[in-house]
Chains A and B, each alone.
Chain A
């Protein structure tokens, strides 16, 4: 202990290195690996869903299990895949991008990560308990969610553990950004990925405790006789929805703001032009974060609210289109008359802009309260949020992995396979999700294992797209594996147009990045 040094200690050897590490790169890799595993398990559940919906009628699984597939698919993808992947990227990149030696609180960082495998093992273990896994939808609305059997408290505590992990991880990110920047790295010089994560971390600290409160009330309603969500005792089931969505809507932006940061890093590199409208990007991100706190009830237009409430939440929601439009405009302007090349990260980034915007527009349609009465709880909603989350959040994560993988591993990934992965994914993901708009508008409800025969054709097409999309992600795993094991040596700069402190380090970077803080001019 007494000879502890901030520099010159390399990684420990063996497996325990990964269990006891305090290094931001190790922990970033652990997060990313964990996210990938959850992505594959959650993806397998999506395959079960699409297989069941391949034809009308009950085919493969019983309805209860089908419902638990949709529920746990969502929980895994949101809390197990996308959020940890972004946290992993934050761990890897933020210290390198702001010129810090590591994250501000390294032991806490390890704690944040290692809670996750325990949390999700607990969540998945509920499948083997009496009554099976959670089947109420990931929103866990009472009274339905309270009907869950032996797995219920395990699911609630799994959410608590994942929440503690998120809160600690976010505290670490915020403190790192506010306290660990190299001299000269003023706030308005920070890369946008750092900015978007700063705001994301704020949203997480503000909302994860609210989710913890909501699920704690579920727990006491089930086991301690409280009546928060029971009208017989003077409570209100709708109250749960308000509290949940007060968390849930900012959560949506938690899942997309870091994606904005990633795309804002990749586009200038491959357009070989600086980002258009940097400061407006920062203000737009902050505006979206602010608005995210006052729009939650647009998830519950049909629940029975005073008309004034419906109108307020409708107009507030529509306002989000303004800062989001600023962002899309800036991205397009960045590309305008740039010397563009289309390596895999750029393909995913451009794909993100186009398809995320489709999801944004369907979101605008859903924000219209009177129209939402038709769309609510249909496949149109499913199509909407998969456009923003799969071709939005997940695409940005893939873009980020392709973009920074040469920096992390020191090897170029296989460009030919990467492009193939992009094109197969992009074609199949549209075959998968675009028809779901039609299904929803025609009235097919979500979260059902069986459906009217009129929906048969589009469901079959959607399922076929789903199977191809699911399988093509194995390519992604293979490409990453190949790049880790070897491949053409990457230069320090990696991409000729890349700007930022992380590109001044070697590829792969040293175990401790900036022992002497660089000076930023």
Chain B
């Protein structure tokens, strides 16, 4: 019996999810052993990571094939779209936790540590000499003296790069809708290039921070929030770039049509989300 065009596609039983669960478990067990200093930790982690990547490849390969077979009707397409939107919303909330930590420290807890507002001045018993507001590595000078990265050097350049990548991606989308495959691919390649240059600058900035400025993860609450926010953002840019590379290859293979290209749009939403998070970072981590 062939699949009727109207019915919602419910896939057969699949080994992919259990492989995914095992792969994720192996990688986090490896990471946990690594943290504990167990010798086999790193190796286990990398094996798990390789399994995760293989699983993702297999999973998306299956989905792409099913899509090319025409198994997905408009309703399935809507499920994917809505699923992607809610996934991005969950990512927004993940970043909200770290932005929340930054705001809490800057607006409330560091001023309290300086004796502000409470009227109790409990800080005086332990750290009466503490008087630096922000950036700070705390009264214990955690990680030693450090310098910060100015906003108007590389970070401003990176902002431009990401904003430009948003434009090139939109141009690619317009080309796709106009069924101009060559321009679609070229603008995608431009987007990947901009994302990669961003990552390169970010890596350079980290090396600079660690080697020249003594700004590290251990530099008190400033270093913690700085690296946690920019680090997770950089990780998401790397992920987004990988996704862009995948859809570039798919576009080159003419997988997308002007009215059926959810994968393209999903990746584009994700990329714009990463872009918006960066704007928040640029303002609250670098400028202010």
Q: Which residues of A contact B (CB under 8 A)?
A: 1-9, 12, 16-17, 19-23, 100-102, 104-108, 110-111, 114-115, 118-119, 122, 150, 152-154, 156-157, 160-161, 164, 167, 170-172, 174-175, 178-180, 205-210, 212-214, 216-217, 219-228, 230-236, 238-239, 242-243, 246, 304, 306, 512, 515
A-B pairs, 10 with minimum CB distance: A213-B97, A234-B138, A225-B218, A232-B140, A153-B32, A233-B142, A226-B224, A236-B109, A111-B17, A234-B221
Given A154-B29, A233-B142, A233-B224, A175 and B86 touching (CB < 8 A)? Answer: yes
- For residue B83, which residues in chain A have a CB less than 8 angstroms away from its CB? 104-105, 108, 171-172, 175
- For residue A180, which residues in chain B have a CB less than 8 angstroms away from its CB? 8, 75, 79
Q: How far is the CA of A248 from the CA of B71 in the complex (A)?
A: 41
- 12 pairs, A vs B, C-beta closer than 8 Å: A22-B14, A104-B82, A108-B17, A111-B16, A114-B21, A150-B36, A175-B79, A179-B79, A209-B97, A222-B35, A236-B113, A242-B100
| Chain A residue nearest in CB terms to B106 | A234
Tell me how far the C-beta of A161 lies from the nearest C-beta in chain B, rounded to whole angstroms.
6
- B240 contacts the other chain (Cβ, under 8 Å)? no
- For residue A17, which residues in chain B have a CB less than 8 angstroms away from its CB? 13
Given A1-B66, A217-B101, A231-B138, A226 and B11 touching (CB < 8 A)? Answer: no
- For residue B104, which residues in chain A have a CB less than 8 angstroms away from its CB? 236, 239, 242-243
CB of A234 within 8 A of CB of B1, answer no
| Chain B residue nearest in CB terms to A176 | B79
CB of A4 within 8 A of CB of B9, answer yes
* CB-CB contacts below 8 Å: B75-122 with A: 75, 78-79, 82-83, 86-87, 89-91, 93-98, 100-101, 104-105, 108-110, 112-113, 117-118
Tell me how far the C-beta of A331 lies from the nearest C-beta in chain B, rounded to whole angstroms.
31
- For residue B78, which residues in chain A have a CB less than 8 angstroms away from its CB? 179
| Chain A residue nearest in CB terms to B130 | A234
Q: How far is the CA of A179 from the CA of B76 in the complex (A)?
A: 9
- B151 contacts the other chain (Cβ, under 8 Å)? no
CB of A153 within 8 A of CB of B36, answer yes
CB of A154 within 8 A of CB of B32, answer yes
Other-chain residue from A157, A179, A227, A239 in contact with B75 (beta carbon distance below 8 A): A179
Given A22-B10, A101-B10, A227-B142, A118 and B22 touching (CB < 8 A)? Answer: yes
* Residue among B15, B69, B82, B221 with most chain A CB within 10 A: B221
Q: How far is the CA of A243 from the CA of B225 in the complex (A)?
A: 14
| Chain A residue nearest in CB terms to B13 | A20
- For residue B65, which residues in chain A have a CB less than 8 angstroms away from its CB? 1
- B220 contacts the other chain (Cβ, under 8 Å)? yes
CB of B228 within 8 A of CB of A205, answer no
CB of A20 within 8 A of CB of B14, answer yes
CB of A220 within 8 A of CB of B25, answer no
Grouping DSSP codes into helix (H, G, I), strand (E, B) and loop, the B interface class, with mixed when no group exceeds half, is: helix
Q: How far is the CA of A23 from the CA of B17 in the complex (A)?
A: 13
Given A206-B89, A208-B90, A243 and B97 touching (CB < 8 A)? Answer: yes
Q: How far is the CA of A174 from the CA of B28 in the complex (A)?
A: 28
Q: How far is the CA of A215 from the CA of B266 in the complex (A)?
A: 28
CB of B217 within 8 A of CB of A209, answer no
- For residue A119, which residues in chain B have a CB less than 8 angstroms away from its CB? 25
Q: How far is the CA of A6 from the CA of B8 in the complex (A)?
A: 7
Tell me how far the C-beta of B246 lies from the nearest C-beta in chain A, rounded to whole angstroms.
19
CB of B97 within 8 A of CB of A234, answer no
Q: How far is the CA of A171 from the CA of B89 in the complex (A)?
A: 10
Given A209-B90, A227-B224, A235-B220, A174 and B10 touching (CB < 8 A)? Answer: no
Tell me how far the C-beta of B216 lies from the nearest C-beta in chain A, rounded to whole angstroms.
8
Q: How far is the CA of A93 from the CA of B103 in the complex (A)?
A: 42
Tell me how far the C-beta of A219 lies from the nearest C-beta in chain B, rounded to whole angstroms.
8
- For residue B227, which residues in chain A have a CB less than 8 angstroms away from its CB? 226
Q: How far is the CA of A106 from the CA of B97 in the complex (A)?
A: 30
Q: How far is the CA of A119 from the CA of B29 in the complex (A)?
A: 10
CB of B82 within 8 A of CB of A205, answer no
Q: How far is the CA of A26 from the CA of B121 in the complex (A)?
A: 60
CB of A234 within 8 A of CB of B8, answer no
Tell me how far the C-beta of A515 lies from the nearest C-beta in chain B, rounded to whole angstroms.
7
Tell me how far the C-beta of A179 lies from the nearest C-beta in chain B, rounded to whole angstroms.
5
- For residue B87, which residues in chain A have a CB less than 8 angstroms away from its CB? 167, 171
- For residue A107, which residues in chain B have a CB less than 8 angstroms away from its CB? 11, 14, 16-17, 59
- B139 contacts the other chain (Cβ, under 8 Å)? yes
Tell me how far the C-beta of B139 lies from the nearest C-beta in chain A, rounded to whole angstroms.
6
CB of A6 within 8 A of CB of B3, answer yes
- For residue A220, which residues in chain B have a CB less than 8 angstroms away from its CB? 217, 224, 228
Q: How far is the CA of A9 from the CA of B7 in the complex (A)?
A: 14
**Contacts beyond the supplied A171-B83, A210-B100: 19 A-B pairs with Cβ under 8 Å:** A1-B69, A3-B2, A5-B2, A6-B9, A16-B13, A22-B12, A22-B14, A107-B11, A107-B14, A108-B83, A110-B14, A110-B18, A157-B32, A175-B83, A178-B82, A210-B93, A228-B228, A234-B136, A236-B109
- B184 contacts the other chain (Cβ, under 8 Å)? no
CB of B21 within 8 A of CB of A115, answer yes
CB of A226 within 8 A of CB of B228, answer yes
Contact with A along B254-279 (1 / 0, CB 8 A): 00000000000000000000000000
* CB-CB contacts below 8 Å: B24-49 with A: 24-25, 28-29, 31-32, 35-36
Tell me how far the C-beta of B11 lies from the nearest C-beta in chain A, rounded to whole angstroms.
5
Q: How far is the CA of A192 from the CA of B217 in the complex (A)?
A: 48
CB of A234 within 8 A of CB of B18, answer no
* Residue among A9, A22, A180, A222 with most chain B CB within 10 A: A22
Q: How far is the CA of A340 from the CA of B232 in the complex (A)?
A: 57
| Chain A residue nearest in CB terms to B218 | A225
CB of A106 within 8 A of CB of B109, answer no
Q: How far is the CA of A154 from the CA of B101 in the complex (A)?
A: 24
Q: How far is the CA of A157 from the CA of B218 in the complex (A)?
A: 22
Tell me how far the C-beta of B19 lies from the nearest C-beta in chain A, rounded to whole angstroms.
10
Given A101-B10, A105-B79, A106-B10, A20 and B142 touching (CB < 8 A)? Answer: no
CB of B14 within 8 A of CB of A235, answer no
Tell me how far the C-beta of A132 lies from the nearest C-beta in chain B, rounded to whole angstroms.
14
CB of B8 within 8 A of CB of A227, answer no
- B137 contacts the other chain (Cβ, under 8 Å)? yes
CB of A243 within 8 A of CB of B221, answer no
CB of A231 within 8 A of CB of B17, answer no
